[in-house]
Amino acid sequence: MLRLMLLLVPAVAAVSTASEAELHLADSLALRGRFEEARSILLEVLDGSRARSEEALYRLLGLYHGCGRELEFVSLLDSIERASGRRLAGWRVSALDLAGLDDSAFESAPPEDVLLRLYLAAFDESRLPAGTVVPVPSDAAGRYVRLMAAGPGELRPDQFKAGAIDARLFPSLLEVLSRELMATARSGGAWWDAALDSLEASCGAASVAALRLARMEARGLIDEGFCAWCLDSVPTAAGEAARLLLKYEPSSWGSSWRVLDALVAAGLSREAEWMVSRSADPLFRSGARLALLRSSGRASELLDSCASLRAASPESLAARAALFQARALRDLGRNSEAWAAYADFSMSHPGHPKAAEAGSLAGRYYDSEHMWAEAAAAYLASLAARGKPESDETCYWRGGFCLFMSGQARRADSLWAAGCAEWPGGWLEDEMLYWRARYAAACGRTADSSDLLDSVASAHPWEFYGILGAARMSRSPRSDYPVGWIDLESPGCLSAALELAGSGRAGMAVEMLQSDMLPDPGGRAAALSLLGEHRACILLLTRLDGRLRTAGTGRLPDSLVPYYFPAPYLDLAARAAESLLVEPWMLTGIMREESSFDRRVVSGAGARGLIQLMPGTAADVARWHGLPRLECGDFFDPEKSVRYGSLYIDRQCRNFGGEPALFLAAYNAGPGNASRWRDGCSYSPRDPEMFIEQITFRETRNYAKLVMRSAWIYEGYFR
């Protein structure tokens, strides 16, 4: 059933037949929320093209699943079966499974398909009828089920070998295989090493680092280079790597702060104390004591030790003492002193590996306090320090903004120009280009400002400042992105996903399409979207976009942008906004950023559903409007979730004069914070970006820009 292909067709292929053209049109309509039109076309394809009927069914399932109407799809299947005589049991099971109706899916599965029933039973063989014989699997999907259902110690060497390859398709196998390999690390023979090598080839060295370290321990022979790599690159295995280096290479690593810090971070304090007791190096012992004091919660004593060491120690120990002084102050809750100490550490010891991170963290603190000059100095210290942390681009952008706000606009412009050169096409290039255009306009350089606005609008057409730049030049946001044609019949994981979904295994298809160990992320993301898994699609495309930007090779291709901005609840948003001040495209943008259109998502704070309502907020809405209180399951009902959520958003919209930057800040961070920011920043409707960039909560600042960006794009869908 499942074909593993290392080379897949490109995500976007040419449309070559009439039925493909119809499917392509249906995709375009579905992504823009035009449910009935897309449904009508897909039913025509299903009725008239047997060759493309499976692709039409896949898309129909996604159309219904994407907006929480899976049971309607099941009823549609019943009608099709009665009219055509076709058996569509697999599609029915997939719909029930994706709807989260586990028992119904299990009961609907054909009794003869034992492996499917075992999958739907969450791999619990006790749910199968007594005497059921689980067949020997003949494909990767079957092997996946058999491996997931296996008990401890039941896997054979040949199953390990096959499973290590299949883990590339089904990442959840990695946990099962790792658990079983760990249990046999001391006893396994050559098959064990072959299985580990295959697993590493499929999943990457970091994924199996703990296993490789366990094997080294079992053999009493370590790979020193691999252990050293783990110290810096695999946090989950760093403690064990440090322990092995200390045990087997004490002459090289017995006085290493890197090893000691890894032991302490892993909670191996006894090993760390033993390490200190064995070392004859007074410099190492002094620096090690700082980590041990902190791990034991003796922050005041640590602070005193740091002060004494900073004065008369060699550079390496003085730098370490300065870093731990900042940490001690933070542990004591003396935050303003702590961030000043981090900034001082970054400036005084730029060669230290932690200097760049410390400066960035201090900059973020001062930035949030509107201490613009201090923030700029800390960000600049981070940029001048050793290494290039992930926050480097942020330091260019926010460092420039803090310079701008402290009255050093020319320096800000220079820093933004340097940031654009260092991070071409990066995440924050649109911010820097746009604010450079503002500065050029303020200096009377109209032509330069226009060129910069044109650059940001052209290079970042679906980002906040790209759209704002276009608006400043009286251009409408672009919404005519071409929808890439996805050929689900092409060899590889796309056709495998089609086959899985048609046989009742849509959940497996979703897991496979999300696997980062497979190629063609764009095609896989589009296939997820067509299956109605919009959240998974958006997450996958976000990672793809990030990799392209980090590599400096561009951004998300235009053909994938419609999949990045689907609108499965467009009609629902339109109905909810009919009597409200808040616009339907704003509601759609909020849904995208809050839940990525996953009606069943629950946040760590307890917010639920499409608009991420808190139970207390929903209770307030019910009281204000005389509505019934929502029961637990109601939060996951799209109609109820969007109705109650839109009423609350509309209340904030009215309270803040319909200004998106203000009411979005209120929705994300609370009306009290929004009022404080409005009053403290002298909000102007003509300059919302100045207000947004002064919001002290980084999450809220980004949230407002993301929702407004999405709303501007979705506005074109409603026109």
Q: What is the DSSP string of 690-709?
A: HHHTT-S-HHHHHHHHHHHH
Q: What is the mean pLDDT of residues 95-116?
A: 97
- The pLDDT value recorded for residue 9 is 33
Instruction: Residue 499: name the closest of 537, 527, 535 by CA.
Output: 527
Give the domain range for residue 167.
Answer: 140-219
Comparison of pLDDT for 154 and 502, the residue scoring more: 502
How would residue 13 be classed by pLDDT, with cut points 50, 70 and 90? Answer: low
- Is the pLDDT confidence value at 625 over 50? yes
In this structure, of 4-13, 330-339, 447-456, 670-679, the range with the lowest mean pLDDT score is: 4-13
Regarding whether 451 and 308 lie in a shared domain, the answer is: yes
- The pLDDT value recorded for residue 14 is 59
- Is the pLDDT confidence value at 28 over 50? yes
Regarding whether 563 and 435 lie in a shared domain, the answer is: no
Select from 181, 201, 219 the last residue of a domain: 219
Q: What is the mean pLDDT of residues 254-277?
A: 96
CA atoms of 648 and 640, how far apart (whole Å): 12
Q: Total structural domains in the chain? A: 4
Regarding whether 585 and 507 lie in a shared domain, the answer is: no
CA atoms of 453 and 465, how far apart (whole Å): 9
How would residue 244 be classed by pLDDT, with cut points 50, 70 and 90? Answer: very high
Q: pTM of this prediction?
A: 0.93
CA atoms of 96 and 107, how far apart (whole Å): 10
- The pLDDT value recorded for residue 6 is 28
Regarding whether 703 and 575 lie in a shared domain, the answer is: yes
- Is the pLDDT confidence value at 563 over 50? yes
Average pLDDT, the chain: 94
- The pLDDT value recorded for residue 3 is 38
Regarding whether 490 and 457 lie in a shared domain, the answer is: no
- The pLDDT value recorded for residue 16 is 57
- Is the pLDDT confidence value at 1 over 50? no
CA-to-CA separations, 341 to 120, 287, 330, 363, 679, in angstroms, rounded? 56, 18, 10, 12, 31
CA-to-CA separations, 49 to 39, 42, 173, in angstroms, rounded? 15, 10, 37
Regarding whether 558 and 435 lie in a shared domain, the answer is: no
- The pLDDT value recorded for residue 328 is 98
- The pLDDT value recorded for residue 5 is 30
Supply the DSSP string of 504-557, one letter for each residue.
Answer: T-HHHHHHHHH-TTSS-HHHHHHHHHHTT-HHHHHHHHHHHHHHHHHTTS--S-
625: left (phi over 0), alpha (psi -120 to 50) or beta: alpha
474: left (phi over 0), alpha (psi -120 to 50) or beta: left
For residue 167, the surrounding DSSP H or E stretch is none
- Is the pLDDT confidence value at 51 over 80? no
123 domain residue, yes or no: no
338 domain residue, yes or no: yes
Regarding whether 668 and 525 lie in a shared domain, the answer is: no
Q: What percent of the chain has pLDDT over 70?
A: 97
Length of the chain: 719
Q: What is the pLDDT of residues 391-436, one digit of tens each?
A: 689 999 999 999 999 999 999 999 999 999 999 999 999 999 999 9
- Is the pLDDT confidence value at 504 over 90? yes
Regarding whether 468 and 326 lie in a shared domain, the answer is: yes
How would residue 389 be classed by pLDDT, with cut points 50, 70 and 90? Answer: low
533 domain residue, yes or no: yes
- The pLDDT value recorded for residue 8 is 30
- Is the pLDDT confidence value at 657 over 50? yes
- The pLDDT value recorded for residue 390 is 59
How many CA atoms lie less than 13 Å away from 697 in the CB half-sphere? 15
Q: What is the mean pLDDT of residues 84-110?
A: 96
- Is the pLDDT confidence value at 524 over 70? yes
C-beta of residue 31 within 8 angstroms of C-beta of residue 567: yes
Regarding whether 463 and 320 lie in a shared domain, the answer is: yes
Contacts of 537 (CB under 8 A, 6+ apart): 525, 526, 528, 529, 563, 564, 566
3-state SS string for 232-299: HHCHHHHHHHHHHHHHHCHHHHCCCHHHHHHHHHCCCHHHHHHHHHHCCCHHHHHHHHHHHHHHCCCH
277 domain residue, yes or no: no
